[in-house]
Each structure stands twice: as C-alpha cells, then as structure tokens.
Structure 1
Amino acid sequence: MSAVPLIRAERLSRVIGGEVPATLVADADLTVEPGAFIAITGPSGSGKSSLLYLLGLLDLPTTGEVYMEGKATSRLDEDARAALRLSRLGFVFQFHFLLPEFSALENVLLPMRALKRLPEDAMRARGLALLGSLGLAEHAHKRPDQLSGGQRQRVAIARALANDPSVILADEPTGNLDTHSTEQVFAILRRLVDEERRAVVIVTHDMALAAQADVQVRIVDGRIVAAG
C-alpha cells in the first residue's frame, strides 16, 4: 500500500440546490492506491458518474474533500484543478469525444500540447508509440470516421494515457461497444493495472466486467453501500 494514496475522498457529498435539493453523492469515503482496479456499480441514477466526476476534479463537492497525492483540492482555483487533471489524471468516457477533423494521432497529441512538457518531435513519437501499443499503428493518420467503434475507443484510451497519468477514470467506457471490443478495452485497462501499476477506476453497468476488477464499490441513492 502507498503511504500517500493517489486519491483519497473523505466524507464526500454533492448536493444540487433548488426547491427540492437533490443529493447526488452522500458521505462517500474512497481510497485509490497505485495498481488498484476499482469498479463502481449501482442502479441507474444512483450517483456513480457523479462520484467519478468528483474524484476526477471535474466537479466540486458540496462538503468533504478530495485529496490528490495528499493535497487537498476543493479550494484550488479552476486553473490549478485543470493543471492537476491534465498532468495526473486520464479520462475515458462512454462516447470517445474525438475531434472529427483530426487524425487519431492528432487527437492523442492534444493533451500533450496542452501540458507542454515535451518538444513536438517527442510528443509525436510518444503518440505513435501509444497508438502502436494499442494495435493502432496503421490507423494513426486516419480520422475517427474511418475507424470502428472499438478502434475509436482505443484512440480515446491512448489520449487518456498521453501525459502518463497515474490514475485512469473511465465512465462506462464499453457502453457503446460490441462484445469483442468490450473485451479488448477491458483487457487494455487490466494491463495498465497489472503491468504499469496505474490505478483504474471504472463506472460500469456490466457486472461481468465489474467482477473482474479487484475492488467493487456499490453505490445506491448516492451512498456507498458496499466496498470490497
């Protein structure tokens, strides 16, 4: 176990105001260590994605705190939160959100160009290497509309890995894929955990996939009711 977790959520709550306030997440505690593979499951509308977005600093908690490598994040300004997301986290969603006018490689380069950590030639080399590692070397210069659904999602994974994040957060990443592509994507995520010691936190309705994670967290009505 790491002395300082990659992510630690303490008594995390998210409430949307209005005449009848809605509680999306209530008093959630969760720790993400290096090499963890965590599946968040639960009924539709239970708060799974809301919890993931809080962990990924895409949303702010109403109460509680998210610590990123020991550093509290809720009072950081948006620029500082964005910098943490860009450098430490990778995101994969149900829809790939690739820019249609760009090639697969150009989509993968976008986070690296935003971070400006590497020179252009090193960025392109890394982008090609990532696509190659996901079986997409020959598709690097194709646009998303020239790729299958499974290939597009693998490009999205390569983009998520572009800045070498320690944590991958995936929201229903296989929700739009056929069985074969689902197995491919899950195998890639599993390899990131087993071989590279990255942490993966995945929201999924697929209980067969969730069963293959190391830890299952079940959330109902915004509350974590089981973890193990």
Structure 2
Amino acid sequence: MTEVALQAVELVRRIEGTITHTLVDGIDLAVNKGEFVAITGPSGSGKSSLLYLLGLLDAPSEGEVIICGQPTSKLSESDRADVRLTKCGFVFQFHFLLPEFTSLDNVLLPMRAAGKMSEAEMRERGVALLGSLGLAEHANKRPNQLSGGQRQRVAIARALSNRPEIIVADEPTGALDTKSTEQVFAILRDIADQGQTVIVVTHDPALAARADRRIHIVDGKIAEITAQGGGEAICEAVS
C-alpha cells in the first residue's frame, strides 16, 4: 500500500488588507513517501507560497497540512517548530549558509537544534553526509571558499542532517550553472529513490519533466497534474 507522506486539505493562504490577496486557493494534494514532485507555474502563481505552507514555514488561513499522518493546523508554535525541524528539510535558491561557520558546522546546526545526538555522533553524521555528496575535502572550508554548486550541496547535507521524511526545495538550481544544476538534481532524485519525499518548486522545465509528477499552479490553484512515470507524461486538467 502506498504511504502518504504529506497531505494538503482545502489549503488557503490569503493576505488581508485594503485589498485581500489570495496566494493559495483551496488546494487539495497528497504526496506519497519516496515521490519526487515538481511544482511549476508562472511568477506570482502561488507555488512558493504553497511550498512554504507544506513545509510549515507559513501557516494557512484555512485548511490543513498533514505531515506523516499528523495534522498540524492546531499545533502550538513550539510543536510546529519541532515537526518542521525533525520531519522536514529545506533547500532554497540561495544556500543561506552561515558565512562564519565551516561546511561541517553548518551541517551540524539542525542536529544541534534537535538535541538528540551527542557531539561525536553529530560530527560523525555530518562528515558522512558531506562525504556522500562529494564534499569530504571541503568540510573545514567556509562558504566563501566554495563554488556555488558546492555551497548548495552543503545546504542539501544540512537539510538531510536530521533524517527528515520530507525535503522541500524552492528553486534549488535557480542560481547554478548547468553542471551544478545536474549534480543537484541527481542528488535530489537519489534522495527520493532512497525513500524520502522530495517536493521542488522550479522554473526549470527539464528538471520538472524528470520528476514523478508535475503540479502546475495558476492563480493559487492546481491547473494541471502530470504523472510522468515510465517516461510518458499523462496530463490531468483540474477544474
């Protein structure tokens, strides 16, 4: 039986003011464990707003986000933060590494925040993660000593540090050259193939085409879902 890792139920995000702006408008979506999903859409369509709701970086105006079977809308801020820290890993267009920290120390940050491992265990895991991403020799370098692709791989290692069920990534290849883009995509694809769920917002049609499903957002709504298994796209328009 397919296991659902994340579910959005009638999800709405609006900004109230003199004029009310609806960023996400009644979205229903289920993402399975080990699935690689690409969210696409024109600028201003609400795709990043949706991603931030799914990763609990923002709270919905209405609706529910269910993470690994746990509803989150009624959780306290501290409990939401704990779910976000332990169940979700985040990768952004810009790496947001702390410039005064080494690669290894940046990777250790989420583990230290969770406080579930000894310092020795955290350092062992951090070194292993960097090694698995081809960065073993860069563990003690600071971000300004790394290339853009290397910095993004450190950011991915940081996202993986607490063994999250779900990786959410907002334009993770948007600031990278072609070679680094391919490397980062291959890493995210491998993460999904190993059983973690990966949800990526992207403008890159080549990356989106290689995901398991593409969710196309227009005006805060799902306009089309494209299943891409077996190399053949099957489109479903959503009314």
Deviation of 1:123 (Å): 0.3
Residue 185 of structure 2 is aligned to residue 149 of structure 1? no
- The runs of 5 or more residues in structure 2 that have no matched partner are 227-239
- The runs of 5 or more residues in structure 1 that have no matched partner are none
Local SS of the residue matching 1:6: strand
Deviation of 1:2 (Å): 3.2
- CA deviations on 1:76-128 (whole Å, 9 max, x unpaired) are 11100000011010000000000000000000000000001111101000000
| Letter of the structure 1 residue corresponding to residue 176 of structure 2 | L
Query: In structure 2, what is the Cα distance between the partners aligned to 1:174 and 1:83?
Result: 27
Deviation of 1:32 (Å): 1.5
1:2 aligns to what? Answer: 2
How many pairs are equivalent?
226
- CA deviations on 1:165-217 (whole Å, 9 max, x unpaired) are 111000000000000000000000000111x1111000000011100000000
| Letter of the structure 2 residue corresponding to residue 215 of structure 1 | R
Q: Find the partner of 2:222 among 216, 224, 227.
A: 224
Deviation of 1:70 (Å): 1.8
Deviating beyond 4 angstroms after TM superposition, the runs of 4 or more aligned structure 1 residues are: none
2:236 aligns to what? Answer: none
State the Cα RMSD in Å: 0.7
Residue 36 of structure 2 is aligned to residue 55 of structure 1? no
Local SS of the residue matching 2:164: coil
2:14 aligns to what? Answer: 15
Query: In structure 2, what is the Cα distance between the partners aligned to 1:70 and 1:99?
Result: 33
Deviation of 1:69 (Å): 1.7
Local SS of the residue matching 1:226: strand
Local SS of the residue matching 1:142: coil
- CA deviations on 1:145-167 (whole Å, 9 max, x unpaired) are 00000000000000000000111
Query: In structure 2, what is the Cα distance between the partners aligned to 1:203 and 1:22?
Result: 21
Deviation of 1:65 (Å): 0.6
Q: Report sequence identity in percent.
A: 64
Name which structure has the greater RCO, CA cutoff 8 Å, separation 6+. 1
